[in-house]
Amino acid sequence: TPTLPQPDAPRVMVVANQKGGVGKTTTAVNIAAGLAMGGLRVLVVDMDPQGNASTALGVDHEEGTTGAYEVLVDGHPLVDALQRCADIPGLWVLPATIDLAGAEVGLVATVSRETRLRSALDVFFRDFYVDYVIIDCPPSLGLLTLNALVAAKEIMIPIQCEYYALEGVTQLLRTINLVKGRLNDELTLTTVVLTMFDGRTNLSSQVADEVRTHFAREVLDTVIPRSVRVAEAPSYGQTVLTYQLASVGAQAYHKAAVEIAERGVGVH
């Protein structure tokens, strides 16, 4: 039985920020791991052709492996493309291979090209229950990210505690509003995660304060510190929670996952 509260319906969360290197993938996989380790059933959808989330979760994603490309472009059933994360019970992954780089082009010729992921998830939910779907996005606002924004109900933005942290967030918010108005009325920014916080610098604290001013309700209390263990874990095909649970980075992501589960959807 789960130790974390189960939502009434699957919470579909997209982790987005079109800036690269801000901690999207790290946040997606480690929050997913934290939720699954709390006894919840979690699906990670890797929508980045780089396949970094697939790497961190230790699933096959060599070229030619059935994954997000086949689901989006060929209409392959999502349930048949899933892989189980070996180290974490209750965690499944829809992997991304480099083939997904061709999806932006492949999708142009398909019908309803923005709603392919949403349709695939709707079918999937009919015979597979999960509490959370966490979607990792590439660092761009193309068709892959658009599919993710249309499929999700909630958006989670990781913000790196660095110079120009809010740069690009304005554009992302504009995109969210466009999607909200046209393709997905339910999309709501519910969660902002401060990542790579460096307690030794004033800059990190200043950025954190600024972000808390902008997103008072959305920012998690838990801040993710910069930690070597977090950066190392993917090279072992692991999340930091399985790699070194006692590390500060793992503890922070675990707390962040608990916070997300306990806040629920109703807070906002």
Does position 195 bind ligand ADP by CB under 6 A? Answer: yes
Measured CA angle at 13 (ends 234, 162), to 5 deg: 60
Residues with Cβ within 8 Å of residue 71, at least 6 apart in sequence: 77, 78, 81, 94, 116, 117, 120
Judged by CB under 6 A, the stretch of 2-10, 22-30, 124-132, 259-267 that binds ligand ADP is 22-30
- 154, containing H or E segment: strand 154-160
Q: Is 27 in the site for Mg ion (CB under 5 A)?
A: no
Which of 6, 25, 222, 247 touches Mg ion (CB under 5 A)?
Answer: 25
Q: Which of 11, 41, 226, 254 lies at the binding interface for ligand ADP (CB under 6 A)?
A: 226
Residue 18 binding result from Mg ion, ligand ADP, none, given CB thresholds of 5 to 8 Å by partner type: none
Of 19, 24, 61, 116, which lies in the binding site for Mg ion, with binding defined by CB under 5 A? 24
CB 173 within 8 A of CB 141: no
Other beta carbons less than 10 A from residue 173's beta carbon: 14
- Does 19 bind Mg ion (CB under 5 A)? Our answer is no
Please, what is the minimum distance in Å from the beta carbon of residue 19 to Mg ion? 10
**HSE-CB for 234 with a 13 A CA cutoff:** 15
Is residue 41 near Mg ion by the rule CB under 5 A? no
- Least Cα distance to 134 among 260, 8, 50, 249 occurs for 260
Contacting residues toward ligand ADP, per CB under 6 A: 20-26, 52, 139, 195-196, 224, 226-227, 230-231, 249
